[in-house]
Amino acid sequence: MALYSDVVMDHFRNPRNVGVIEDANGIGEEGNAVCGDIMKIYLKINDDEIIEDVKFETFGCTSAIASSSMATEMIKGKPVSEALELSNKAVAEALQGLPENKMHCSVLAEEAIKKAIEDYQSRKNK
Ligand code: FES
Protein backbone atom coordinates (compact mmCIF):
# COMPACT_ATOMS: atom_id res chain seq x y z
CA MET A 1 0.00 0.00 0.00
CA ALA A 2 1.21 3.51 -0.78
CA LEU A 3 2.34 5.46 2.25
CA TYR A 4 0.13 8.43 1.37
CA SER A 5 -3.37 8.58 -0.07
CA ASP A 6 -4.05 10.29 -3.40
CA VAL A 7 -5.76 13.11 -1.48
CA VAL A 8 -2.63 13.71 0.63
CA MET A 9 -0.45 13.75 -2.48
CA ASP A 10 -2.84 16.12 -4.27
CA HIS A 11 -2.83 18.61 -1.37
CA PHE A 12 0.94 18.27 -0.99
CA ARG A 13 1.61 18.91 -4.68
CA ASN A 14 -1.06 21.60 -5.10
CA PRO A 15 -1.56 23.08 -1.67
CA ARG A 16 -4.60 25.35 -1.34
CA ASN A 17 -4.47 28.68 0.50
CA VAL A 18 -0.71 29.06 0.70
CA GLY A 19 0.52 32.52 1.61
CA VAL A 20 0.06 35.43 3.94
CA ILE A 21 -2.94 37.66 4.67
CA GLU A 22 -1.46 41.12 5.20
CA ASP A 23 -4.47 42.44 7.13
CA ALA A 24 -5.19 39.23 9.02
CA ASN A 25 -7.03 39.73 12.31
CA GLY A 26 -5.97 36.36 13.73
CA ILE A 27 -2.55 34.74 13.44
CA GLY A 28 -1.47 31.48 15.04
CA GLU A 29 1.74 29.53 14.95
CA GLU A 30 2.43 26.04 16.14
CA GLY A 31 5.55 23.94 16.01
CA ASN A 32 6.60 20.44 16.85
CA ALA A 33 9.72 20.35 18.96
CA VAL A 34 10.60 16.81 17.89
CA CYS A 35 10.63 17.20 14.11
CA GLY A 36 11.09 20.99 14.07
CA ASP A 37 8.19 21.60 11.68
CA ILE A 38 6.31 24.89 11.94
CA MET A 39 2.90 25.99 10.72
CA LYS A 40 1.52 29.52 10.66
CA ILE A 41 -2.15 30.29 10.01
CA TYR A 42 -3.60 33.68 9.00
CA LEU A 43 -7.32 34.37 9.40
CA LYS A 44 -9.50 37.17 8.11
CA ILE A 45 -12.66 37.08 10.18
CA ASN A 46 -15.59 39.40 9.47
CA ASP A 47 -18.02 41.12 11.86
CA ASP A 48 -20.38 38.14 11.64
CA GLU A 49 -17.57 35.90 12.92
CA ILE A 50 -17.24 34.15 9.58
CA ILE A 51 -13.78 33.17 8.33
CA GLU A 52 -13.72 35.07 5.08
CA ASP A 53 -10.20 34.07 4.18
CA VAL A 54 -7.47 31.84 5.50
CA LYS A 55 -3.90 31.27 4.42
CA PHE A 56 -0.98 29.29 5.72
CA GLU A 57 2.78 29.04 5.65
CA THR A 58 4.18 25.67 6.61
CA PHE A 59 7.74 24.61 6.94
CA GLY A 60 7.25 20.92 7.24
CA CYS A 61 6.77 17.44 5.94
CA THR A 62 4.36 16.11 3.33
CA SER A 63 1.67 15.39 5.93
CA ALA A 64 2.02 18.80 7.55
CA ILE A 65 1.59 20.60 4.23
CA ALA A 66 -1.33 18.41 3.16
CA SER A 67 -2.93 18.88 6.61
CA SER A 68 -2.56 22.68 6.44
CA SER A 69 -4.06 22.74 2.98
CA MET A 70 -7.00 20.51 3.89
CA ALA A 71 -7.65 22.20 7.24
CA THR A 72 -7.75 25.66 5.66
CA GLU A 73 -10.22 24.39 3.05
CA MET A 74 -12.38 22.94 5.83
CA ILE A 75 -12.68 26.23 7.77
CA LYS A 76 -12.89 28.71 4.91
CA GLY A 77 -16.30 30.40 4.86
CA LYS A 78 -17.22 28.78 8.18
CA PRO A 79 -18.17 30.42 11.49
CA VAL A 80 -15.40 30.76 14.05
CA SER A 81 -17.34 28.47 16.43
CA GLU A 82 -17.22 25.68 13.85
CA ALA A 83 -13.52 26.17 13.14
CA LEU A 84 -12.80 25.81 16.85
CA GLU A 85 -14.32 22.35 16.72
CA LEU A 86 -12.07 21.14 13.92
CA SER A 87 -10.09 18.17 15.14
CA ASN A 88 -6.92 16.73 13.73
CA LYS A 89 -8.80 13.44 13.30
CA ALA A 90 -11.34 15.14 11.01
CA VAL A 91 -8.47 16.60 8.96
CA ALA A 92 -6.77 13.20 8.71
CA GLU A 93 -10.06 11.55 7.71
CA ALA A 94 -10.64 14.16 5.00
CA LEU A 95 -7.17 13.30 3.73
CA GLN A 96 -8.27 9.64 3.55
CA GLY A 97 -5.98 8.82 6.41
CA LEU A 98 -2.42 9.49 7.48
CA PRO A 99 0.16 6.93 8.53
CA GLU A 100 -0.01 6.39 12.30
CA ASN A 101 3.43 7.94 12.87
CA LYS A 102 2.31 11.02 10.91
CA MET A 103 -0.85 11.79 12.85
CA HIS A 104 1.03 14.39 14.90
CA CYS A 105 1.45 16.43 11.71
CA SER A 106 -2.32 16.99 11.55
CA VAL A 107 -2.24 18.17 15.17
CA LEU A 108 -0.17 21.15 14.03
CA ALA A 109 -3.09 22.29 11.86
CA GLU A 110 -5.66 21.95 14.65
CA GLU A 111 -3.46 23.78 17.13
CA ALA A 112 -2.36 26.56 14.76
CA ILE A 113 -6.00 27.29 13.87
CA LYS A 114 -6.98 27.36 17.56
CA LYS A 115 -4.14 29.77 18.32
CA ALA A 116 -5.14 32.03 15.41
CA ILE A 117 -8.71 32.15 16.73
CA GLU A 118 -7.45 32.89 20.25
CA ASP A 119 -5.36 35.71 18.79
CA TYR A 120 -8.46 37.06 17.01
CA GLN A 121 -10.49 36.90 20.23
CA SER A 122 -7.83 38.63 22.31
CA ARG A 123 -7.46 41.42 19.72
CA LYS A 124 -11.23 41.87 19.71
CA ASN A 125 -11.42 42.14 23.49
CA LYS A 126 -8.78 44.87 23.60
FE1 FES B 1 6.86 17.09 11.64
FE2 FES B 1 5.19 16.01 10.02
S3 FES B 1 7.08 15.21 10.64
S4 FES B 1 4.92 17.79 11.17
pLDDT in tens, 33-85: 999 999 999 999 999 999 999 999 999 999 999 999 999 999 999 999 999 99
Q: How far, in Å, from the CA of 64 to the mean position of ligand 1?
A: 6
Q: Rounded to an integer, what distance in angstroms lies between the CA atom of residue 53 and that of residue 76?
A: 6
Q: How many of the other CB atoms lie within 10 Å of CB of 69?
A: 26
For the question of residue 61 being annotated catalytic, the response is no
pLDDT band at residue 2 using 50, 70 and 90 as cut-offs: confident
For the question of residue 35 being annotated catalytic, the response is yes
Q: Is the CB of 28 under 6 A from ligand 1?
A: no
Nearest to 56 by CA among 66, 69, 46: 69
The pTM for the full model equals 0.96
Q: How far, in Å, from the CA of 34 to the mean position of ligand 1?
A: 8
Q: Which of 104, 107, 111 to mutate to test the pocket of ligand 1 (most atoms within 8 A of CB)?
A: 104
Q: How many of the other CB atoms lie within 10 Å of CB of 84?
A: 15
